[in-house]
Chain A
Amino acid sequence: MTETAATPRTYRDYAQPLWRRLLVSREGAVIAALVLVVVFAISFVPHFAQPITLTYLLLDITPILLIALPMTLIIITGEIDLSVASTMGLASVTLGVLHQAGMPIPLAGAIALVVGAIAGALNGFLITVVGLPSLAVTIGTLALYRGLAVGLLGTTAVTEFTEFWTDLAKSKIPGTSMPSVVIVILVLAIVFVALLHFTPFGRGIFAIGLSPETARFSGVKVERTKFILFVLSGLISALAGLYYTLRFSSARGDNATGYELQVIAAVLLGGVSIFGGRGSIVGPLGGVFLIGVLASALRLANVTSDVINIITGTLLVASVVATSFLAWFRTKRARPGKKTEILAVAKG
């Protein structure tokens, strides 16, 4: 606007070249760790390099992979959904009860998906319309949905399912050792990558996580966005519940208990900030694989499950500590950062 404004400024798009940005990213670190673990396991763990390992690994982590997708988006907005595993259980029981009553699997499954979406919508309603914190709401619905699931079926289980569907859940892509369900995961992963990284809706998700007020002032529909995400989370949790039920031919009220923590652990390990605003889809998927591969390699090496838990837990803590330390180191070295200032003030 001054006289010199005639020549437009030329800005560089990025301060650093792509390879350097990838190198310092959390996603890069997770993928590198994954490659390292795989190479190590192939070289030193007997039987790991067999195709069957991959088949079972994928079958095992499918529910976690599925739920990690909407969970990533929710955590980036700064919220959390702890009710996902209970929703899986509720969908599982719905399928079981309806099928037992004579309903064909596709119809019963569709109803179970609707139940999941309604469960998510109830979370979304309490969080965005009533205005309650998501942590409190979903701790509540974690108990509520699990209670409903167990209440509907008691301590019994439905184990009679049409063979076509249970076989489909375990089937492989012809000529490979890949389970067919990988196709579903791939399609959904692509949809979620596009949604988060290449749409205005996704840009809104990041803005909400970093500064909800600025987002609102910029025309982002904060409440509607969050509501949609919780419905998506319920829907996909129900889908994961259906898969779980058919794979093990068992609908039980306590199916998938505790899965919510596995999902959240993998998402955080994949570089999504628990404070919101930062993360990607690739990172959490890498996180799920990292934990899965590590566990399966250790199991093959005859390490007991309690030790495996200790190792994955330590890994998660170490990764969080490492990021905080790196961030601190970077601000300390580069320029007077906000974080070090706050620390200094607190000290004083």
Chain B
Amino acid sequence: MSNSTEPPALELSRIAKAFGAVIALTNGTLQLRKNSIHALVGENGAGKSTLVKIIAGLYQRDTGEFLLEGESVDFSSTAQSKAAGIAVIYQEPTLFPDLSVTENIFMGRQPTRSLGRIDRKLMREEAIGLFTRLGVRIDPDRPTLGLSIADQQIIEIAKAISLDAKVLVMDEPTAALSGVEVERLFTVARSLRDEGRALLFISHRFDEVFDLCDTVTVMRDGAYIATSPIADTTVEQIVRQMVGRDVSALFPKEEAVIGDDVLVVEGLSQPGVFHDVSFTVKSGEIVALAGLVGAGRSEIARAVFGVDPYSSGTVRINGAKVPRRNPAAAMKLGLALVPEDRRKQGLVLETSVARNTTLAIQRSLARFGFITDRAENAAARIWDSRLEVKTASLDTEAGTLSGGNQQKVVLAKWLATNPSVLIVDEPTRGIDVGTKAEVHRLLSQLAGEGMAIIMISSELPEVLGMADRVLVVHEGSITAEIDRADATAETVMFAATHSAAEVAR
């Protein structure tokens, strides 16, 4: 462990940053030590990203102190912070897809031989050396196109190490990773810590924070709240610090009257994606589709809704057959899908909150075929206020809202269609604890009103807390159906990682 008289690897104190009238950060305070993995947690909008961008040199602080190994620094570009030994790994790496893994690692600083020719042999050897050191197996010669996000992050980390970064910042690196990939990333992170580097880890998942980190700093409303050693704190305490109040229950599933079959899916197949998927959802019921990332859950949901094709099988709502590949017809029959990727599939980011809220109900808002801003605003006002969307005005661009508020707009948009079956795909991914609890309460309330709900989620606590029934998907098939009473982390995880035959045994 590091000597306490040694200056911290990186120290920020009372950093403030404002963008015009918007104050993003009032008191950013953080101390990263060598040989340590430090967690930074806080709700969306707490100022974590702004702080990271100041560390990365993307933004410049207005006031406050920024010390690197005891020396005051001022970065006016990301190149300067890189040169000073700071590396930032983002949630979605930005690699050149057509270049090889090796070329990506050494982009802009390729080793050269005489006459400035690139020394490909040396470059390749160094890349292999880096991967050996990280204990991962990635072919250095393949193009990065088609690599998983997990592998792309490893390449970014390899790049950082080849630059000999002293400080590594990982901004929500696990958001899009599966369980195995998270484990591999953690192994790499721990070995980097043991080499004497300082790591900053940002995540919304508490189990990961407690598993990986040794210290945790909580931020709220742009200000520092507390730093504590992981050993001395609890999830409840961190949540309290994050939201500034007690969150009564994270998953307030209420009892609902479960009625008749509403959605009946029979023998749905699409070669290479999913096969022979059959299930039913009753009114008032929340059915979770659990499974690993890439198991085919979202693909099934998209096929049911009609965005993706399927080669055989039927989908019925209240007895009426839903046509294939026709979302508009599915919507008319009472089906709604809150998609996985809210920025690409859920919202038109560059258009107003009102237009987004009413995009799926345009036809019913039109009078004699014509639609006006007034009609849209009136409808948007009803649904956005019901979901408590925080926005300055109805013509605010949706892309400027925080993640949680964006998700609320997507939910408002689909609830406005008055669906009888609501499919929500990762409804709380990347949103803060407070909004998460609101979404859970909303889903529970909707089920109470008789809606049939399908929830796809990669977070086990959410699945176990919310679902009346859990359907586990493994490699495109439903391998298990587990009732609420029997659903535990173990039963669900077992089914998610084994084929149907093995589960039955």
Contacts and interface: CB of A to CB of B under 8 A. Distances in A.
Interface of A: 1-2, 5, 8-15, 194, 198-200, 203-204, 206-207, 210-211, 213-221, 277, 333-336, 338, 341, 344-345, 347-348
Interface string B346-371: 11111100110001101101100111
Contacts of B58: 341, 344-345, 348
Contacts of A345: 58, 78, 94
Nearest to B22: A335
A15 B393 contact: yes
A8 B386 contact: yes
A63 B387 CA distance: 49
B307 A217 contact: yes
A219 B19 contact: no
A335 B381 CA distance: 25
Given A5-B388, A217-B339, A219-B331, A15 B351 contact: no
Interface string B186-201: 0000000000000000
A175 B285 CA distance: 73
A207 B445 contact: no
B106 interface: no
A28 B287 CA distance: 52
Interface in B37-89: 50, 53, 56-59, 77-79, 81-82
Contacts of A8: 381-382, 385-386
B349 A211 contact: yes
B59 A217 contact: no
Given A13-B395, A14-B395, A213-B345, A334 B19 contact: yes
Given A1-B441, A220-B328, A220-B359, 6 more contacts: A13-B393, A198-B372, A207-B348, A214-B345, A277-B350, A344-B78
B168 interface: no
A1 B442 contact: yes
Nearest to A219: B328
24 contacts: A1-B442, A2-B388, A10-B385, A11-B385, A11-B393, A12-B393, A14-B393, A14-B394, A15-B395, A15-B396, A194-B370, A199-B366, A203-B355, A207-B355, A214-B359, A217-B337, A218-B327, A219-B327, A219-B328, A219-B360, A220-B359, A333-B20, A336-B59, A345-B58
A72 to B, nearest CB: 17
B468 to A, nearest CB: 20
Identify which of B81, B337, B388 gathers the most chain A CB atoms within 10 Å of its CB.
B388
Interface in B405-439: 413, 438
A203 B339 CA distance: 20
B241 interface: no
A211 B406 CA distance: 15
Contacts of B331: 219
A275 B155 CA distance: 32
A157 B372 CA distance: 49
Given A345-B78, A345-B94, A203 B362 contact: yes
B391 interface: yes
A214 B370 contact: no
A221 B363 contact: no
Contacts of A5: 386, 388
A344 B384 contact: no
B186 to A, nearest CB: 26
A198 B59 CA distance: 41
Contacts of B392: 12, 15
Contact of B19 (A11, A210, A213, A335): A335
A172 to B, nearest CB: 33
A330 to B, nearest CB: 10
Identify which of B370, B387, B392, B445 gathers the most chain A CB atoms within 10 Å of its CB.
B370
Contacts of A11: 380-381, 384-385, 391, 393-394
Nearest to A221: B328
Nearest to A8: B385
A277 B352 CA distance: 12
Contacts of B373: 13
Nearest to B344: A213
A1 B388 contact: yes
A112 B312 CA distance: 44
Contacts of B81: 348
